[in-house]
Amino acid sequence: MADGSVILDVRNISLRFGGVKALSDISFDVREHEVRAIIGPNGAGKSSMLNCINGVYQPQEGSISFRGKTFKHMNSRQVAEMGVARTFQNLALFKGMSVLDNIMTGRNLRMKSNLFLQALRIGPAEREEMAHRAVVERIIDFLEIQAHRKTPVGRLPYGLQKRVDLGRALAMEPQVLLLDEPMAGMNVEEKQDMCRFILDVNEEFGTTIVLIEHDMGVVMDISDRVVVLDYGKKIGDGTPDEVRGNEDVIRAYLGTSH
Ligand SMILES: Nc1ncnc2c1ncn2[C@@H]1O[C@H](COP(=O)(O)OP(=O)(O)OP(=O)(O)O)[C@@H](O)[C@H]1O
Ligand SMILES: [Mg+2]
122-164 tens-digit pLDDT = 677 777 788 889 999 999 999 999 999 999 999 999 999 999 9
Atom from ligand 1 closest to the CA of residue 232:
14
pLDDT in tens, 14-52: 999 999 999 999 999 999 999 999 999 999 999 999 999
Q: Could you tell me which residues are beta bridge partners of residue 176?
A: 84, 208
Show the beta-strand stretches assigned E in the chain. 6-17, 20-31, 35-39, 61-66, 69-71, 84-87, 176-180, 208-212, 225-230, 233-238
The class of domain 1-83+174-258 in CATH terms is alpha beta
Query: Closest Cα to atom 14, ligand 1: which residue?
Result: 45
Query: Closest Cα to atom 5, ligand 1: which residue?
Result: 17
Cα 31 to middle of ligand 2, angstroms: 22
Residue 114 in contact with ligand 1 by CB distance below 6 A? no
Is the full-model pTM beyond 0.75? yes
| Nearest ligand to residue 180 Cα | 2
Span(s) in the chain for CATH 3.40.50.300: 1-83+174-258
**Angle subtended at Cα 237 by Cα 233 and Cα 240, rounded to the nearest 5 degrees:** 130
